[in-house]
Amino acid sequence: MQALFRALPSADACLALLERSFPEAAHDTLLACCRGVLDDLRAAVRERRVTSPEELSLPAISGLLRASAARACAPRLRRVLNGAGVVVHTNLGRSTLAREAQEAVALAARDYCNLEFDLDSGERGSRTALVEGLICELTGAEAALVVNNNAAAVLLMLDTLCKGGEAVLSRGQLVEIGGSFRIPDVMVRSGAILREVGTTNRTHLSDYAEAINEQTRAVLWVHPSNFRVIGFHSAVSPAELAGLAHSRGLPLLEDLGSGSLLDLSPWGLRDEPAVPGVLRSGVDVVTFSGDKVLGGPQAGIIAGKKRFLDAMKKNQLLRALRCGKLTLAALEATLRLYRDPERACRSIPTLRRLTMRCEVLHARAEALLALLAPALGGLAEVRLEDGESRVGGGAFPEQGLPTELVSVRPLEMSAAALRARLLAGDPPLIGRLEHDWFQIDPRTLEDEDFPDVTRVLGEALSPRAASDHTA
Ligand SMILES: *Cc1c(COP(=O)(O)O)cnc(C)c1O
C-alpha cells in the first residue's frame, strides 16, 4: 500500500498540469481540485479499489483532474432543456422572458437608469411608480405595488392590514404551496391571528358572518392553487364574500396565486379567474406572482383600492421586500406587451406555450422526430404519442393540455439510465419517464432547441458514453 501511495503524483505536479489546461482559473480553485482528487485516490487505495501503481500516474489521473477542474470552473446556474412539458416549472425557473423583457434587463444591467429618479422634476422618485400605472391600466385597480414575490406580497398585505387582529379564512383554503409556503405560517409571521371557519370541504356564508367580531380586520380568500376539492363540496364565491365583508366595514383580500391577466378559457384553461374579473367582483386587494402564468420575472404584484395600497407603501417592511431594478425592468417590458393581448400571446413565452395549438404541437413533434430518427438509429426506438402537458406553478391543477410527445426507448440501456445520463449532458435535458420510454414534450422546448436535444440524446445513448461513465 505504501508503494501505491508513493506512486501518486505530488499536488504541485497535478497543479502544473491543470494550470496549463485552465489558464484563466484561480490558483486556489485548481489547488483544491488537486487535493480533492488525490484524497479520493488515497481512499481508493485504502479500500483496495486501486491495486496497481500505473493507475495512479499523472497521465492516468489527468482525466479525473481535468473533470474536477471543469466542474469547479463552470457556473452552477446553467441552461437546461425543459422537455418535461410543465410550462411554469418552479424547479426550472418558472417563466422564461420575452425578448423585449430580456432587452430591458440588459439595458438596466448595463447602464444607469431612473430607478428612483423623477425625470420631470429632477428630484428623487419612487421605484414603485415605474410599473404602478401599467398594472392599474391592465387590471382596473386604483393602485398597485410590486414586491419580491407573491409570498412577500401576502406577508406585506397581512402585516399592514391585519396585524394584531383577526383575518377570517375558510378551512378549505388553509393551503400549502410547493416550497413550503403555508398560508397559516405566513399569517403567524405577519402577526395576524387566523380565524378558521367552515370545514375542509364545505364553508358557507353564515360561517364567515358568525366569525366576524370586533377583532376582525379582514376577510381572506386564498386560491387553492395546487389542489381541488371534488365531491360533496361548497365554497363561497369572492363576490358573495365581498358583500358580507363590506357590510361589516371590512376589506376582502385575495391571494390569487398564479394571477392571469387574460381570460385563457378560449384555450381550454377554464375556472381560473383573471385579475381584472377578481377586482370587478368586489375584492379590495389581490396579490399574485409575476413569474407564473403572467410570464414575467419573479415578483409579487399587489393591486386594489388606493387606501389599502397607500398603507402598504408606508409599511417599513416594504424596504425589506422590494424588488431590484432588473426585476422592474423585466416586469415593465412584459406588462407593456399585454396592452395588445394577441401580441402578448405571441411574444411572452409562457403564454405562447400555454396557447399553442394542437396542429402546431403536432407539426413540431414531427419535426423533432425527423431529426431524432436518423440520429438515433440503432441506438433507440423513437415514436410519437398523445400525452398531456401541465401548466404548473399551482395553476389549473387538474387540467392537462393535450400535446404530442416524442418518446425514446433506448435499445442498450434502461430509460432510467438514459435519464441519468441526460442530466449529465451539456445542456442537461429534462424529460419524463414512462415505463421503458423517455418522453419529450415539444411544448416547453423552442424549435431552436431541437438540434441540442438531438445532440445530447445522441451523446447519452452512444456506447462510448457508457464506457466513460463506468470508468
Ligand atoms: C404560488 C403561490 C404563492 C407563492 O407565490 P411566490 O411568487 O412563489 O412567492 C402564494 N399563494 C398562492 C395561492 C400561490 O399559488
Per residue in 180-204, pLDDT tens? 678 888 888 888 999 999 887 889 9
Which residue's CA is the nearest one to ligand 1's atom 11?
A: 257
List the beta strands (DSSP E) in 179-215: 181-182, 193-197
**Residue in 170, 225, 228 to alter for ligand 1 test, most ligand atoms within 8 A of Cβ:** 225
Kindly state the percentage of the chain with pLDDT values over 90. Answer: 83
Instruction: Report residue 395's pLDDT band, with 50, 70 and 90 as the boundaries.
Output: low
Question: What is the model's pTM?
Answer: 0.92
For residue 239, the surrounding DSSP H or E stretch is helix 238-247
Which residue's CA is the nearest one to ligand 1's atom 12?
A: 257
CATH among 3.90.1150.180, 2.40.50.100, 3.10.20.30, 3.10.105.10 for 81-90+354-470: 3.90.1150.180
Which residue's CA is the nearest one to ligand 1's atom 1?
A: 257
What count of other Cβ atoms lies within 10 Å of the Cβ of residue 462? 15
**Residue 252, phi then psi, degrees to nearest 5:** -105, 120
Residue 289 CA, ligand 1 centroid: distance in Å: 6
| 147 SS3 class | strand
For 174: left if phi > 0, alpha if psi spans -120 to 50, otherwise beta; the answer is beta
Determine the average pLDDT of the residues in 170-176. Answer: 84
Residue 470 has pLDDT above 80, yes or no: no
CB 269 within 8 A of CB 354: yes
Per residue in 279-317, pLDDT tens? 999 999 999 999 999 999 999 999 999 999 999 999 999
For residue 187, the surrounding DSSP H or E stretch is helix 183-190
Residue 66's Cβ-side half-sphere holds a number of Cα atoms within 13 Å equal to: 11
Residue 271 has pLDDT above 70, yes or no: no
Q: Could you give the residue range(s) of every CATH 3.40.640.10 domain in the chain?
A: 99-345
Q: Could you give the residue range(s) of every CATH 3.90.1150.180 domain in the chain?
A: 81-90+354-470
Cell, residue 353 = 406555450
Residue 178 has pLDDT above 70, yes or no: no
Per residue in 317-369, pLDDT tens? 999 999 999 999 999 999 999 999 999 999 999 999 999 999 999 999 999 99
Cα 145-146-151 angle, rounded to 5 deg: 115
Per residue in 68-93, pLDDT tens? 999 999 999 999 999 999 999 999 99
Terminal CA-CA length for the chain: 22
The H-assigned helical ranges of 322-462 are 325-337, 341-347, 349-354, 358-376, 415-423, 450-461
Q: Read off the DSSP letter of residue 335.
A: H
Cell, residue 337 = 406587451
CATH among 3.90.1070.10, 3.40.50.880, 3.40.50.720, 3.40.640.10 for 99-345: 3.40.640.10
Binning the chain into helix, strand and coil, the percentages to the nearest 5 are 50, 20, 35
Higher per-residue pLDDT: 189 or 452: 452
How confident is the prediction for the chain on average, in pLDDT? 93
